[in-house]
Structure 1
Amino acid sequence: MRSIFFTLPCFLLLLGTPGQAQEPLLTKDEAIALVLESNLGIKVAQNTRKIDENNANILNSGYLPTVTGNAGGSIDVQNTEGQLASGDSRRADGAETRRYNASVSVNYTLFDGLGRYYNYKSFKERSQQSELEVRQTIENTILQLFTVYYEASRLTENTKNLEQALEISKQRLRRARYQFEYGQNTGLDVLNAEVDINTDSINLLNSRQLLRNTMRDLNLILNRELSEVFVTDTTVNFVPGLQMENMHNEAKENNVRIKINEKGMNINKLNIKAARSAFLPTIGLTGTYGWNESNNNSPLAFLIQNTATGVTGAVNLTWNLFDGGRAITGIKNVKIGYENQELLMKQVEQEVERDIRNAWDSYTNTLYVLEVQKKNLQTNQNNFNRTDERYKLGQVTSIEFRQAQLNLLNAELAESQAKYNAKLAELQMLQISGQLLNVDF
């Protein structure tokens, strides 16, 4: 019967301190550089910005003239018969006439009611808005990156704490076995120790699995091979000197959502002005250089060959006095669009106001919780050290020792969780205030 106390599943023995090759450290700066270079969402946003930059180019403004080249040729074969003034008649069968022409035309709009001017400015505003959208994508991606990065760091710390807990449980089992061998306790202490080792081993296995899954999530954000192995930095540094008033003012000035909506309002203003150009005339210039040649082998033709070249120019004015009301309807619609943009702007400002206040409260609360958990961890560490000494002297039971061990483990996990919660709350507040890209991580 005694042999059952000395048997453990093989997989539990392997959970001690596994021999693994040293994995490379993925620093925060390296993670940021990788995500800016390789993240697919950021690349899509940057390509969209390039499209808007192309649209804002002078080549898409309507300010440049258009040049058109035309060329053509024809062959005409006819049977003709004619009578001369002398009374003689002549007949030509299969008389062939060849005609050739070529021309180059230039068209330029001098004035179109300022429509192209406001459209060009609207393209410029849209290009700047697109840059802000890229910044928004980068901010969201970096926040997502560090949410996963710090989760990997937290799980790394948890795994180490669980490994230490398992090692403590193994030492306790060895002590219980020796005491049982020398008749100092019953087999119940050995059984309890084995049960606790099973529990610690399962917790460790689950933590390692969660860590591997999180590493794959991080590789996905970085657009790397999912099987890439690395370790994350568990050091957390907080930005010093943050104040609510400053964060509130920064949010009003630099929040990317507010900036994007400001550009949207500017675009709608320009759209109203561009729509009004429909009530004004359009003045344009046209110029053409042409060449024409005709060859006729008919004996009845007055000219056998005729060649002409020349330049023509014209100024034209077009004024659409009434288009059935489409221009009026268009102006009304763009004005409504501007009103909607104003309402959306007010909504965004209120949401940002709420978000920055909530983020500040969350940030200060998590910092307070972190300080409490640090003190709690120290208290539980001291309690476990004293309990461990008394357990070795036989002054406390194995149940009391296990409770002190669990209290310490829970305190370590809670302190780690509080640390990363506080850092993520800080990053969320910095994003809302528009300062996320201006701080060290």
Structure 2
Amino acid sequence: MRRLSFLFIVLLSNAAYAQQRFTLADVVNTTLKNSLDIEIAKNNLEINSINNNIGNAGGLPTVNLNANYNENSTSVNQKLNNGNTIERAGARANTLTPNVQASILLFNGFRVKATQKRLQELELMSKEQLNAQIQNAVAEAMVKYYDIVRQQSYFRTIRQSIELSAKRLEILQAKKEAGLSNNVEIYQAEVDLNARKQDLQTQQLILDQAKTDLLNIMNMKPDLKIDIQDTILVDKSIVLDSVMKMIPLNPQLLSANQMIRVSEQAEKEIQAQRYPAVRFNTGFNYSRNYSQAGLFILNQSYGPFAGINLQMPLYNGGILKRQEKTARIDVKNATLQRDNLVNTLEAGAVRTYQGYRNALQQRDAELKNYATAQTLLDLIMERYKLNQATILDLREAQKSFEDAGYRLVNLSYAAKVAEIELKRLSSTLLKD
């Protein structure tokens, strides 16, 4: 029976030899390289970087080439003052009017300046959004990485329990041969052993699915076999005051601040429409008219031109006034959203830190409890071999040991997740 149990465990574990080993650094680097969310944020930054140009703000001159050509076929019947008559059927006539025109904006209420500033703020906002997405993606990958470490710890605990259950069954069978045990105890031991084997298979499924989740975050093939060998080590040096001081540098908050400035510049763009717009226009005109009938067979003219164009807004149905009101509301909303985000980040930091400290304190106590449970289990096992403890004593000691193991790894995981979140909030996640 002991050999069969050992074989069962080996069959569940032998796939590890064909698995690809991943460290935490591998997971982080792969996520940074493959994350589609990060790629989208990079593309948005590139778009806003391209748009951040004075030409898009309307500050550069425009040069256009225009040309128009018309061909006509007409019938002419003309009587002149001198008594002559001109009659022509199907007379051809054509007109060609090409020109080159350049125009540059001289003044429009500083709208160009406001637009250019808005485009700059949009680019800066995209940079912060990219930074935030990087922090979020890395944090998500790290949490899932340590979840796999946690699930593997559960797996090892169940495997230890199977070994203990198999050993208990072996002892009972030896006792039965000596006439010191009965079938009831053996059957119960077999039921317990089979139940733990089922638990191991269930835990293997949970572990495999956790790995699939991590592969999804890293944008890798979901059926790739990966192996992670690590322990959960928690940074105990985090101080709440340090986290709170770093929150103003959180990329989400910096992006919200940029959004306020974007809205302010958009308001200035609208206000600029109340001022006159002045443009300087210049160019070169050419005109050619040809007709087979009429006073002039050919008439052409050409030459440069220059002029000033002035446009003064007087009334547009109150549209501009309403646009200004909505723009001011946009600024207020952006400010309120920023303030709400500050409250959310600060409250999240405090709550996470509370959980972080609590998990560390409980973990320290649970370490002692786990060691005690291990010692108790070893003692009960020895006493059981000597018929000085009952099977119920052994089962209770075994359950206490398993529960202590679960609590210990859960507390370590909770503390680690809180540590990751605190470092994400303080923008120090990638500085380790």
| Range of TM-score over shorter length | over 0.9
Unaligned runs of 5+ in 1: 1-5
Amino acid at match of 1:227: D
Question: Counterparts in 2 of 1:381-420, with a 5 A limit?
Answer: 381-420=374-413
Pick from 116, 119, 132 the counterpart of residue 120 of structure 1.
116
Q: Distance in 1 between matches of 2:110 and 2:237?
A: 51
**2:92 corresponds to 1:99:** no
Give a deviation string over 1:219-254, Cα, whole Å, max 9, x none: 111111111111224223333532121111112x21
Matched letter for residue 206 of structure 1 = T
Partner of 2:22: 26
Matched, 1:194 2:190: yes
2:72 maps to 76
Distance in 2 between residues matched to 1:41 and 1:170, nearest whole Å: 48
Q: Does 1:288 align with 2:271?
A: no
What whole-Å deviation, never above 9, does each CA across 1:2-39 have from its counterpart, x for those lacking one? xxxx899x8x7752322335122211111111112222
Deviations 1:257-277 (A, max 9, x none): 321221122122222322221
Query: What is the distance in 1 between the residues matched to 2:2 and 2:429?
Result: 55
Counterpart-to-counterpart distance in 2, 1:399 and 1:107: 95
List runs of 5+ in structure 2 lacking aligned partners: none
1:369 aligns with 2:362: yes
By how many angstroms is 1:154 displaced? 0.8
The reply to whether residue 255 of structure 1 matches residue 245 of structure 2 is no
Residues in 2 aligned to 1:331 and 1:84: alpha-carbon distance in whole angstroms? 64
Q: Under a length normalisation based on structure 2, what TM-score does the superposition of the two structures give?
A: 0.93
Asked whether the 8 Å contact 2:149–2:232 carries over to 1, the reply is: no
Which of 264, 269, 274 is 2:269 aligned to? Answer: 274
Q: Which of 41, 44, 57 is 2:40 aligned to?
A: 44
Distance 1:239 1:310 in 2: 79
CA contact (8 A) 2:16 2:227 kept: no
Aligned to 2:340: 347
Question: Contact between 1:77 and 1:94, CA under 8 Å: does it hold in 2?
Answer: yes
Judge conservation of contact 2:67–2:99 (CA < 8 Å) in 1: yes
Alpha-carbon contact 1:17-1:163 (below 8 Å) kept: no
How many aligned positions are there? 429
**Equivalent residue number for residue 327 of structure 1:** 320
Alpha-carbon distance in 1 for matches of 2:305, 2:235: 72
2:300 matched to which residue of 1? 307
How much identity, in percent, do the aligned residues show? Answer: 23
Matches within 5 A, 1:193-232: 193-232=189-228
CA offsets 1:285-308 (integer angstroms, 9 cap, x no match): 11222222233233xx44333333
Is the 1:247–1:433 Cα contact (8 Å) retained in structure 2? yes
Cα distance in 1 for partners of 2:216, 2:302 equals 67
Q: Give the match for residue 3 of structure 1.
A: none
Which residue of 2 is the match for residue 150 of structure 1? 146
Closer/same/farther in 2, CA of residues 380 and 102 from structure 1, 3 Å limit: same
Give yes or no for contact 1:16–1:167 (8 Å, CA) kept in 2: no
Alignment of 1:431 with 2:431, yes or no, is no
Q: Measured at CA, do residues 77 and 138 of structure 1 come closer, stay the same or move farther in structure 2, by a change above 3 Å?
A: same
